[in-house]
Structure 1
Amino acid sequence: MSPARVASSVDYEPAGELKIGQVGIANLRVRTLDVARLGEEMRDRVSRAPKLFERAAVIVDFGGLAATPDAATARDLLDALRSAGVLPVALAYGSSENEKLAVALGLPLLSKFRAQYESASPVSAAAPAEAAEPQADAIAASTAPRSETATASATEVAKGGGEPGLMQAAPVRSGQQVYAENRDLTVLASVGAGAEVIADGSIHIYGPLRGRALAGAQGNEKARIFCRAFHAELVAVAGHYKVLEDIPKELRGKPVQVWLEHDELKLATLDGPPAP
């Protein structure tokens, strides 16, 4: 066979096309290195919002600890997270010890997650004081347990048919979480940056929404989110979510509703065209 014929028979097309895209990955910021507790908290989170967190990719961030854990402890944590129903896929970038740990665990390092913790988002002078709280990763899987204060201040309303709604009168602050199981949630105050509100039904927020709001947590595709001032880190309905970077800038600070239409998350101002 001639050289020309050999060259013409070679296939130079790649078998796989590699592109770098934007994906939503949960970030687990470890605050207390208690493997059993972390595993239980993640299991509870997955059970309450399976559409969003079940088999979710998770970045493990040890940057909040005084010392990087040893490989054996880190492996135990990864096993606990897998048993809880999520998939740890990388470590967040930190110190040189953290880099050595990633090599020992056979996991990659992702640098953007550490950077987002170290710098807060710009806050305008007119924004409420709570907006100055450090911004967690837009889709952070916080290790903070459900706030006892937030749970205790939630009261039932609407005693008519069906499950009564849950009403939260006090602000939901960073690290706190309020969950309305099998019902709607009404928040009369604000939801701060790093806070989280979850409902199996719809969510109504009468103050600014700066944290995360997850409606239809058990798969109710008819659930909606309504808020008076939209600055959300993340919104989700029945597992379909958008983070702040995916949301049109013209909606920020406006009264907004969020709903699901043909498996696509929709957002619009409350004074705009009515949602179907």
Structure 2
Amino acid sequence: MSAGAASMNYELAGDLKIGQVGIANLRVRTLDVERLGTEMRERVARAPKLFERAAVIVDFGGLPGTPDVATARALLDALRAAGVIPVALAYGSTDNERLAVELGLPLLAKFRAQYESQEPAAAEPARAEAPRPEPAPSRSEAARVVAPPGEPGMMVSAPIRSGQQIYAEQRDLTILATVGAGAEVISDGSIHIYGALRGRALAGARDNEKARIFCREFHAELVAIAGHYKVMEDIPADLRGKAVQVWLDNGQIHIAALA
């Protein structure tokens, strides 16, 4: 192996996780504008229906310090060039608030707390329109059902159609029908789907890594556990249409056919 190959850094410069409302959160781990832009371009190329023109929140909270305005602006330009749309900054430090003002972006100080569950009683974040794999109503128009917390698992018998979102707060979610393409089902616990899953399923939305997804007929656009996700393009072809379970182990999504 050459010295150049041995010295290559295979660590990702940014962790992209899918948040509780289906919006992508880019937590910057290495402030390398070129690498971050390249990584995002590759993500868009692999799953254009999911990420192309997707709303992305940029999180500098994993860095030792807040970047200067010029560097942050260069990163936003690189992300736009890669095909996504930075819509806000996350993480509510004073320096980050000043940076958000300079960049002309809102600061969603509670966004990370809501989907990573770093605070026990975080306020609900500002809503931003999540990317859709096909034209669908906006969040303000889409049907959205939120189950009140503290009750037994939520059960839905009607099909979930494109543009609809179902969220089971602090409980498991059971769907007795089909989750259509462009629909989204979210649960703080596990998700059980007895029909076909053609849209997106996000379990363990408040960082519950023990949550799982069970599905009788698997055609998912995206599945996520505690923010870690896989898109259709990452899923082995031999699992499509099968009954599967999805779980998280050491930060990696696993999908296997049910016996």
Question: Which bracket does the TM-score occupy, shorter chain normalised?
Answer: 0.5 to 0.7
Amino acid at match of 2:133: A
The residue number in structure 2 matching 1:217 is 205
The residue number in structure 1 matching 2:133 is 136
Mark the CA change 1:222 to 1:169 in structure 2 (over 3 Å): closer, same or farther: same
Structure 1 residue 215, shift from structure 2 partner: 0.3
Amino acid at match of 2:81: L
Amino acid at match of 1:262: N
Would you say the 8 A contact 2:15–2:26 is kept in 1? no
- 2:174 equivalent among 171, 174, 186: 186
For residues 231 and 54 of structure 1, what CA distance do their matches in structure 2 show? 26
For residues 249 and 229 of structure 2, what CA distance do their matches in structure 1 show? 12
The residue number in structure 2 matching 1:109 is 81
Structure 1 residue 262, shift from structure 2 partner: 2.3
The residue number in structure 1 matching 2:256 is 268
For 1:216-260, what per-residue CA distance to the aligned partner results, in whole angstroms no more than 9, with x for missing partners?
A: 000111110001100001101111111111111100000010011
Q: Secondary structure at the match of 1:53?
A: strand
For residues 219 and 243 of structure 1, what CA distance do their matches in structure 2 show? 19
Amino acid at match of 1:237: I
Structure 1 residue 13, shift from structure 2 partner: 6.2
Structure 1 residue 196, shift from structure 2 partner: 0.6
Mark the CA change 1:136 to 1:222 in structure 2 (over 3 Å): closer, same or farther: same
1:1-276 equivalences under 5 Å are 46=19, 53=25, 55=27, 106-107=77-78, 108-110=80-82, 136=133, 144-145=138-139, 149=143, 151=145, 163-271=151-259
Would you say the 8 A contact 2:143–2:163 is kept in 1? no
Mark the CA change 1:24 to 1:81 in structure 2 (over 3 Å): closer, same or farther: closer
For 1:161-203, what per-residue CA distance to the aligned partner results, in whole angstroms no more than 9, with x for missing partners?
A: x741111111111111100000000111111111110000000
Would you say the 8 A contact 2:217–2:243 is kept in 1? yes
TM-score (norm 1): 0.49
Unaligned runs of 5+ in 1: 1-11, 27-44, 60-77, 86-102, 114-134, 157-161, 272-276
> Which is greater in Rg?
1
Unaligned runs of 5+ in 2: 29-35, 42-54, 62-73, 85-131
For 1:125-166, what per-residue CA distance to the aligned partner results, in whole angstroms no more than 9, with x for missing partners?
A: xxxxxxxxxx717xx9x8832777552xx889xxxxx74111
For residues 262 and 81 of structure 1, what CA distance do their matches in structure 2 show? 25
Structure 1 residue 25, shift from structure 2 partner: 6.3
For residues 181 and 143 of structure 2, what CA distance do their matches in structure 1 show? 17
Amino acid at match of 2:207: G
Amino acid at match of 2:138: A
Amino acid at match of 2:240: R
TM-score (norm 2): 0.52
Q: Secondary structure at the match of 1:245?
A: helix
Q: Percent identity?
A: 51
Structure 1 residue 47, shift from structure 2 partner: 6.2
Mark the CA change 1:240 to 1:146 in structure 2 (over 3 Å): closer, same or farther: farther
